[in-house]
Amino acid sequence: MSINFKNAIVRLPSESIINAISSKGLSPDFLKAKEQHQAYIDILKKTGLDVKILNPLKYLPDSLFVEDPALIYNKICIILKPGVVTRLEEASKLKIEISELFDQVFTIENGNVEGGDILRIKNHFIIGISSRTDEVGAKNLSKIIKKIGGTSEIAVTPENILHFKSECSLLDEETILATENLIETGFFEKKYQIIKVPKGEETGANCLRINEQLLIPKGYTRLLDILSKDYKVRVLDVTEMEKVDAGLSCLSLRW
């Protein structure tokens, strides 16, 4: 199941988060980011997850975004290859820290692929080509997914979107929340039920469904009104993470 989980991995932020990559040219406040991250951990625990907390990596400012360098499917871990040179060491460090938790561990050796570009629906994976994920990486990931019993397809992320999941997320196993940008590509047409993100609230599209709860970021009132009609929602403040192009899903690995 792609919405039911028992475990999660998170990494504590370090003071170097002020130097994390930001397309907006913004710098998070470390203490506020730390508070928001702790609230995120608390919510994961309240949803019933056993949370493994990794120590901060002081010299890797983006390393708290643990979803980008790895993908977990059941008890199998795939170590990915980030598309930014400064983040490559995150993958090698993560492999050492978490490999013992899984029955099998695979590694992407060629091409680039980041977890922010991978949307899982049951045993199916949509891999978005973006500035961080290239075709070589996507195809190599597809081969591994096939080997471990899953299926995949490759989509193209619009140029003005950092990651595929920056503007979409899974609400349940039949329904995707997506922005107009992604909907207009036609990729989702006739394949999935779609709920459209209100115009002007596109950065709220990265929600996170965990068991019976749907976590949504703070500050998107129209989106909250829409989703609270059909889902048990919890609102989380991740405004400091949004300064560095991050959202709810990238802060944890779940299985």
**Residue positions annotated with a catalytic role:** 163, 250
Q: Write the burial class of residue 53 (CB in 10 Å: 0-12 exposed, 13-18 middle, 19+ buried).
A: exposed
For 148-214, the DSSP string reads TT-EEEEEE--TT-SSGGGGEEEEETTEEEE-HHHHTTTTTTTTSEEEEPPTT-GGG---EEETTEE
Q: How far apart are CA 202 and CA 254, in angstroms?
A: 24
Half-sphere exposure of 11 (CA within 13 A, CB side): 27
What tokens appear for 188 in the block? 């989702």
Contact assessment for residue 83 and residue 134, using Cβ atoms and an 8 Å cutoff: yes
